[in-house]
Amino acid sequence: MAAGATKLYVLPGSHPCAAIEAALALKSIDYQRVDLLPLAQVLAGPLLYGGRTVPGMRIGRERIVGSRPIMRRLDALVPDPPLLPAPGEPDHGRVLEAERWGDEVLQAVPRRLIDAAFLRVPAAMESYAGDAKLPLPRAMLRPALPLTAKLMAIKNGARDESAQADLAALPGQLEQIDGWIAEGLLGGERPNAADLQIGSTIRLLLSIGDVRPLIEGRPCERLAGYFPPMTGEVPAGVLPAEWLARAQAAPDPAAPGSRSA
């Protein structure tokens, strides 16, 4: 498939966008990456690819929005290697459910935590742009970083209370992922759709200095290995110490997201 026929619209640093880029690489599909400015997807997305979130994709005239719909379309375009076990195989439904959990439950956690960090240190946002080809020079974007951080936090519901709750629930969620790895559902030699959905989130969480110690050394850390090294970092010491103290306590089995899927 020619690169010009497939366009992927991304935000630099976005973990669901990273999941799709890894899937495209796995299937050896050429594509053109289009980097958007933060929040530009809300206005430009409907015109470019038919949605207000990323990732968005255009394949010729076809428009697809969201990591899970894009994963299904990629499997239809290039069936081998598959991102899902074949229908009827024992793990087909379980991989789909783990992928859904990674999308609907886990994906928002680093988004809100990183927004809470950007409100405190807006300059850290620039590090996540990496080698992105943005439509404006970075020198022009820097003065707007504090306002951008506030608008992103509003869009993502990243209040201090929600970020604290996310951090407190995270150990239970990591236990869930470790359990799936122990069962062989995740962490195989070749990633499935759930590996990419969840692994991209783990990779982003590892870039937050205060959160990294909660993940390092756990089985779930290896899921970040399906991706290139993360560009961007929030230095340790940005998030309040009392938030971390709650997260370092024993996980509550009743915490949101700690349930088995």
For residue 70, what is the domain's CATH number?
Answer: 3.40.30.10
Tell whether 73 and 101 lie within a shared domain: no
Tell whether 113 and 233 lie within a shared domain: yes
Tens-level pLDDT at each residue, the chain (261 residues): 544 589 999 999 999 999 999 999 999 999 999 999 999 999 999 999 999 999 999 999 999 999 999 999 999 999 999 999 999 998 999 999 999 999 999 999 999 999 999 999 999 999 999 888 988 888 999 999 999 999 999 999 999 999 999 999 999 999 999 999 999 999 999 999 999 999 999 999 999 999 999 999 999 999 999 999 999 999 999 999 999 988 887 454 444 443 333
Q: Count of domains in the chain?
A: 2
pTM of the model: 0.92
* Rounded Cα distance, 10 and 128, in Å: 13
Tell whether 37 and 120 lie within a shared domain: no
Q: How far is CA 213 from CA 18, 116, 149, in A?
A: 22, 18, 25
Q: How far is CA 238 from CA 113, 205, 209, in A?
A: 11, 14, 8
pLDDT of residue 4: 54
Q: Does residue 136 lie in a domain region?
A: yes
Q: Does residue 144 lie in a domain region?
A: yes
Q: Does residue 259 lie in a domain region?
A: no
Tell whether 124 and 238 lie within a shared domain: yes
Tell whether 126 and 240 lie within a shared domain: yes
Q: Does residue 86 lie in a domain region?
A: no
Its domain, for residue 138, covers: 94-248
pLDDT of residue 209: 98
Tell whether 71 and 102 lie within a shared domain: no
Q: 87 preceded by cis ω (within 30°)?
A: no
Tell whether 65 and 133 lie within a shared domain: no
**Tell me, what CATH number does 209's domain have?**
1.20.1050
Cβ(7)–Cβ(63) below 8 Å: no
Tell whether 70 and 135 lie within a shared domain: no
Tell whether 210 and 242 lie within a shared domain: yes
pLDDT of residue 47: 95
Any idea of the CA torsion for 238, 38, 170, 165, to the nearest 10 degrees?
80
Tell whether 103 and 177 lie within a shared domain: yes
Amino acid at 68: R
Q: Does residue 142 lie in a domain region?
A: yes
Tell whether 131 and 206 lie within a shared domain: yes
Q: Does residue 153 lie in a domain region?
A: yes
Q: Does residue 261 lie in a domain region?
A: no
Q: In the β-sheet with 62-65, what is the strand arrangement from edge to edge?
A: 32-35, 6-10, 56-59, 62-65
Tell whether 108 and 212 lie within a shared domain: yes
